[in-house]
Amino acid sequence: MRSTVLDEAGLVRWGREVGAVASREGIFVALTGPLGAGKTRLTQAACAGAGVGEAVTSPTYTLVHWYSGSRGPVGHADLYRLRDPSELLALGWEELEAHPGAVFVEWAERAGDELPMDRWEVRLEFADGAGGAADALRRVTARGLGRVAPVPDPGPYADGAETSAC
Ligand SMILES: Nc1ncnc2c1ncn2[C@@H]1O[C@H](COP(=O)(O)OP(=O)(O)O)[C@@H](O)[C@H]1O
Ligand SMILES: [Mg+2]
């Protein structure tokens, strides 16, 4: 598992690589972390990396968006409003799960056992530091579960920020 502190520019650059690899390999990407941590920002960068030309917005109210990427459709879901995994069927979860291309799911932990075994998990957290610019830093932890291609290493995008293996 890799954990790295990224500023927004670094997160966006890493996100583009994440999107390029995820769309090429057809990866389900489970995003976790508190409100405002950057799950939507990362998805926007990843969609750009997957060749999505249109604006990517938060799907909080509609729960699932589909975008047209250069290798096919890219799915984006936000489970913030999900009260129970049993509600997943109604929002097209089976289609998301079976999708051969890239899928990005915010608040993925709310899907519980319904998450596919093969996936990337990306956790974003506010990086604590001494005020000011530290507000714009996020700790990124990324790993692959099951039979998936390796997650791009966020380390090279850290721009001198701290990186640690865990
Ligand atoms: N290092 C960073 N990584 C990601 N977003 C950052 C970073 N620094 C500041 N931000 C800002 O934090 C906000 C994250 O919002 P958003 O992506 O909507 O969060 P979430 O989807 O996790 O609730 C954006 O306004 C973004 O510009
Ligand atoms: Mg969001």
Q: How far is the CA of 56 from the centre of ligand 1 (A)?
A: 14
Q: Is residue 113 part of a domain?
A: yes
Q: Is residue 22 part of a domain?
A: yes
How far apart (Å, rounded) are the C-alpha atoms in residues 64 and 42?
16
Q: Is residue 165 part of a domain?
A: no
> Could you give the dihedral angle defined by the CA atoms of residues 25, 137, 157 and 96, in that order, rounded to the nearest 10 degrees?
10
Of ligand 1's atoms, which has the minimum distance to the CA of residue 38? 17
In 3-state terms the chain splits into helix, strand, coil percentages (rounded to 5) of: 35, 30, 40
Q: Is residue 164 part of a domain?
A: no
Beta-carbon count within 10 A of 21 CB: 19
Beta-carbon count within 10 A of 116 CB: 18
What domain range is 10 assigned to? 2-158
Q: How far is the CA of 125 from the centre of ligand 2 (A)?
A: 13
CATH number of the domain bearing residue 44: 3.40.50.300
Q: What is the pLDDT along the chain (166 residues), one digit of tens a residue?
A: 668 999 999 999 999 999 999 999 999 999 999 999 999 999 999 999 999 999 999 877 678 999 999 999 999 999 999 989 999 988 889 999 999 999 999 999 999 999 999 999 999 999 975 455 556 999 999 999 999 999 999 999 997 545 555 5
Q: How far is the CA of 56 from the centre of ligand 2 (A)?
A: 11
